[in-house]
């Protein structure tokens, strides 16, 4: 699963899942550029660029910086997104548009621009969610955006396949982060009780899935959604 000689851009990469993806790609030998919008990386040695990916000009600036600083581009991971919680009955159009702009529009703009730079064998990976197929209460806007992202993945795979580009998605389940047990103890306990593998995921679990899809081991895989959820999606709902 070596990525030696590959150059990778990871959006939303300075914390949580994004940081885990960036670290895993680097561990497999890739040169990695981490994107951030508001929070710079904790490690000052991390190669990072700030950009607001809701703006096409900012997207192009980021990709130009990736090519310049990495010496090319082979892998793009669209991880940037937002996940506010609000009941559907209380959602405003502004709330809805904010989530779609930060989650779906960003991936659309980065994918379009990156496809003009990636050569044959290039890989684009969109970070979805299990909520793209099964929503949670208070996440109508988020789940809808992730569902649209999964279809965007398939559409991009269809249209960019003739160029030799592969486009796939990784959909994580509940991923551990500092403070989650304290903030949502009942949810964490329920997940651990019901998930077949009996634990929450880690950013590294998601990163390994991305490293696989970006590698030559996945050279004939495109348009797919790899679910990384410890088996929760197979648990009966009754």
Residues whose CB falls within 8 Å of the CB of residue 84, separated by 6 or more in sequence, listed in order: 95, 98, 99, 141, 142
For residue 173 the two structure tokens come to 């389940």
Q: 58: how many CB neighbours lie within 10 A of its CB? A: 17
Residue in 36, 100, 108, 142 annotated catalytic: 142
Q: What angle do CA 176, 181, 187 make, to 5 degrees?
A: 90
Q: Tell how strand 123-127 and strand 225-228 pair up.
A: unpaired
- DSSP state, residue 6: -
Q: Is 160 marked active-site?
A: no
Residue of 167, 145, 172, 170 lying closest to 223 (CA atoms):
167
Pairwise CA distance, residues 12 & 34, whole Å: 7
Pairwise CA distance, residues 147 & 134, whole Å: 9
Torsion of CA 53, 56, 61, 65, to 10 degrees: 60
State the SS3 of 100-134.
HHHHHHHHHHHHHHHHCCCCCCCEEEEECCHHHCC
Active-site residues: which are they?
A: 142
């Amino acid at each position: 699963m070596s990525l030696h000689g590959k150059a990778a851009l990871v959006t939303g990469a300075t914390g949580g899942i994004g940081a885990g993806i960036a670290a895993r790609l680097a561990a497999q030998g890739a040169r990695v550029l981490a994107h951030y919008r508001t929070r710079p990386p904790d490690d000052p040695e991390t190669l990072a660029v700030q950009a607001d990916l809701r703006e096409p000009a900012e997207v192009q600036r980021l990709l130009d910086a990736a090519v310049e600083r990495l010496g090319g581009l082979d892998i793009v991971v669209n991880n940037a997104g937002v996940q506010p919680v609000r009941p559907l009955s209380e959602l405003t159009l502004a709330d809805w548009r904010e989530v779609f702009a930060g989650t779906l529009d960003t991936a659309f703009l980065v994918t379009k621009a990156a496809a003009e730079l990636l050569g044959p064998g290039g890989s684009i990976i969109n970070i979805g969610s299990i909520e793209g197929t099964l929503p949670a209460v208070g996440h109508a806007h988020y789940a809808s955006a992730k569902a649209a992202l999964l279809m965007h993945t398939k559409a991009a795979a269809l249209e960019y396949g003739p160029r030799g580009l592969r486009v796939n998605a990784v959909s994580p389940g509940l991923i551990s982060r500092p403070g989650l047990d304290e903030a949502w103890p009942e949810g964490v306990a329920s997940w651990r009780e019901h998930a077949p593998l009996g634990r929450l995921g880690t950013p590294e679990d998601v990163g390994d899935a991305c490293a696989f899809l970006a590698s030559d081991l996945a050279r004939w895989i495109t348009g797919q959604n790899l679910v990384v959820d410890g088996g929760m999606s197979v648990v009966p709902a009754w």
